[in-house]
């Protein structure tokens, strides 16, 4: 067993990945997950919408990366890839696009492997974001991603599961350092900025899954991109990030309580 990963599968505890699947309308979940999901939803009616918003942000971001010519993706914290997954979005645009999914939840990993069986351009790694070297090493071992070429590193709704004590800045730095110039980094991350109290209360509930959420400021989230060039419109509430149409943005884009942003690694001048 890799260090830091669970050595037992406890189906009596809810899993973040399965709760997320439920919020997206999936049935890849158990009673215990649905109970928690309903409990969270009853306190914050926005939450299901937040998760859908996060999924839409990811879809839009992947599209932007595809348009920029990116054809290999490392999706860390992918959860249960039900619908609207990166490989679906990417391979719809470019059938040769390669995707490596990484998740800490062994059930999510097993499910992903089953779902992706027969798709030779995808791979699944069971690992913890807190061990970025291990993720990079195993990704290299899979041989799907060419690290000498630009890639897209996707961290959708996952960095907020890493507490400050585990040095998320260092983790991000490690991941960025592995990427070739021209690569992109996509992050969505929960925040306390512009949020009502019930949102902040609800995040405490999430402690009942194996992971607790660390809400961070826009500045902190921006910091995760390091010296990479943050694309327009910057680190913003998710619906504001390059919406499909202006009508997709309502009057309260902040209600989803999460920032989204994309940055590119530009070759240093000279």
Binding site for another protein (CB under 8 A): 1, 6-9, 11, 18, 23-30, 48, 51-52, 55, 59-60, 80, 82-84, 88, 106-111, 114-115, 244-245, 247-248
**Integer Cα distance of 247 and 245 in angstroms:** 5
The SS3 call for residue 98 is: strand
Output 122 or 220, the one with its CB closest to another protein.
122
CB burial of residue 15 (10 Å; 0-12, 13-18, 19+): buried
- Nearest residue to 86 (alpha-carbon basis) of 58, 107, 105, 64: 58
Distances (CA, A) of 112 to 16, 103, 160: 15, 9, 22
Output 55 or 176, the one with its CB closest to another protein.
55
Output 102 or 179, the one with its CB closest to another protein.
102
CB of 87 vs another protein, minimal distance in Å: 12
Q: Which residues pair with 101 in a beta bridge?
A: 75, 124
CB of 118 vs another protein, minimal distance in Å: 14
CB of 47 vs another protein, minimal distance in Å: 12
CB of 114 vs another protein, minimal distance in Å: 6
**Integer Cα distance of 242 and 233 in angstroms:** 7
Output 82 or 220, the one with its CB closest to another protein.
82
CB burial of residue 210 (10 Å; 0-12, 13-18, 19+): middle
Output 106 or 223, the one with its CB closest to another protein.
106
CB of 184 vs another protein, minimal distance in Å: 19
């Amino acid at each position: 067993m890799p260090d830091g990963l669970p050595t037992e599968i406890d189906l009596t505890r809810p899993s973040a990945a399965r709760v997320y699947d439920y919020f997206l309308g999936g049935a890849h979940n158990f009673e215990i997950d649905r109970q928690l999901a309903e409990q969270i939803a009853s306190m914050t009616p926005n939450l299901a919408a937040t998760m859908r918003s996060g999924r839409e942000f990811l879809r839009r971001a992947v599209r932007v990366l595809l348009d920029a010519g990116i054809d290999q993706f490392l999706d860390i914290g992918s959860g249960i890839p039900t619908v609207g997954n990166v490989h679906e979005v990417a391979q719809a645009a470019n059938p040769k696009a390669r995707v490596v999914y990484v998740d800490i939840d062994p059930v999510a990993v097993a499910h992903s492997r089953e779902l992706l069986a027969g798709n030779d351009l995808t791979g699944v790694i069971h690992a913890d974001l807190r061990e970025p070297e291990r993720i990079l090493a195993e990704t290299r071992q899979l041989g799907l991603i060419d690290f000498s070429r630009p890639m897209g590193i996707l961290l959708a709704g996952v960095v907020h599961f890493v507490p400050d004590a585990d040095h998320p800045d260092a983790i991000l730095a490690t991941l960025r350092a592995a990427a070739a110039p021209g690569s992109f980094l996509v992050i969505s991350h929960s925040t306390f900025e512009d949020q009502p109290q019930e949102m902040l209360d609800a995040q405490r509930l999430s402690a009942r899954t194996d992971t607790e959420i660390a809400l961070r400021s826009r500045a902190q989230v921006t910091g995760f991109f390091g010296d990479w060039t943050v694309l327009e419109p910057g680190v913003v509430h998710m619906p504001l990030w390059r919406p499909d149409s202006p009508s997709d943005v309502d009057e309260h884009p902040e209600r989803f309580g999460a920032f989204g942003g994309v940055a590119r690694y530009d070759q240093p001048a000279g």
